[in-house]
Amino acid sequence: MKKFWFISALLLWLSHSLAMAQGCTKLTVTGPPIAAPASWVVDGKLIGAAVEYVEGISRAAGIKEIEFKAFPSWADSLRAVYRGEVDVIFSANWSEERERYLYFIRPSMSSQFLNVVVRRGEAFELNRLEDLIKLSGAAPQGEGYGDGTFGQFVTKYLKLQRAPNISKVIDLLLETTTDYIFGYENAIFTEMATRNLGTTLQILNTYPTRAEGFIAFSKRSRCGSEVRKRFSDQVELANTNHTYRALMVKYRETFNENLTRPR
């Protein structure tokens, strides 16, 4: 009788494991739509270094089918993964608020400096964070700065205008509605390059903060609990091999070629 019970339990466990494995062969993934060379949208599809990186991590973790979904803005991408409409988001900075909705895969996949951008000829010294208090600033909706010193300073002292995306934020600066804007370096690079704003805007030499970018699973994803450990192992291996850095070089060339190609 005990032998029969053991065999029945073993068969039940195997069938459950098989069902879970079959149920987690596909992931839907999203990320920043304006953040070259890490990620940007071409003909409605996300491409870039982070896209290829996450696809490689997913396949190495045993995922057979990966569908990338592009949304109009970073804020839209976050909302989709919070609601569980998408399983995974990449290039996500950590914060206590986001951890309510996301499981962050550690270690991080990347890091970015936060740029402070002004109109050319109107640069100012940024030696202390307090230098920003008397000025008006703007930033994209959904963009966070963590819960460290800088994030707390922004929350307590700065009243940033928020616009739907980095393109609209730059418009505020060009319209002289604001003195400066915040934008992570990939997004700023994309906009300044595609809109040819190098002679119109400039980036201050001081970077208020640097944020790590993570792959993160929606807490509503049915696949997260099964594959998160595998993802973590693969990210650690990729970091050892400097995979992301090599992909960034590759896709910066791709992005620059697209800019110079006749239309």
The pLDDT tens digits along the chain (263 residues) read: 444 444 444 344 444 444 444 558 999 999 999 999 999 999 999 999 999 999 999 999 999 999 999 999 999 999 999 999 999 999 999 999 999 999 999 999 999 999 999 999 999 999 999 999 999 999 999 999 989 999 999 999 999 999 999 999 999 999 999 999 999 999 999 999 999 999 999 999 999 999 999 999 999 999 999 999 999 999 999 999 999 999 999 999 999 998 876 55
User: Is the CB of residue 189 less than 8 Å from the CB of residue 84?
Assistant: no
Report helix, strand or coil for 34. Answer: strand
**Torsion angle (degrees, nearest 10) of CA 55, 57, 61, 62:** 20
User: Is the CB of residue 74 less than 8 Å from the CB of residue 182?
Assistant: no
Architecture of the structural domain at 2-110+211-260: 3-Layer(aba) Sandwich (3.40)
2-110+211-260 against 113-210: fold identical: yes
Give the residues across from 67 on adjacent strands: 28
Provide CB contacts within 8 A for 232, sequence distance 6+: 105, 106, 107
Report helix, strand or coil for 246. Answer: helix
pLDDT at 7: 46
Q: What is the largest CA-CA distance in the chain?
A: 85
- Reading phi first (left if > 0) and then psi (alpha if -120 to 50, else beta), residue 211 is in beta
Side chain identity at 227, as an amino acid letter?
V
What is the rounded CA–CA span in Å between residue 216 and residue 254?
26
Provide CB contacts within 8 A for 134, sequence distance 6+: none
* Token pair recorded at residue 151: 């994030």
- The domain limits of the chain are 2-110+211-260, 113-210
What is the rounded CA–CA span in Å between residue 35 and residue 133?
27
Q: The pTM is what?
A: 0.87
Distance of CA 159 to the CA centre of its chain: 24
Q: In CATH, what number does 113-210 get? A: 3.40.190.10
User: Is the CB of residue 77 less than 8 Å from the CB of residue 102?
Assistant: no
Name the DSSP class of 102. E
pLDDT at 258: 84
Nearest CA to 209 out of 250, 143, 130, 151 is that of: 151
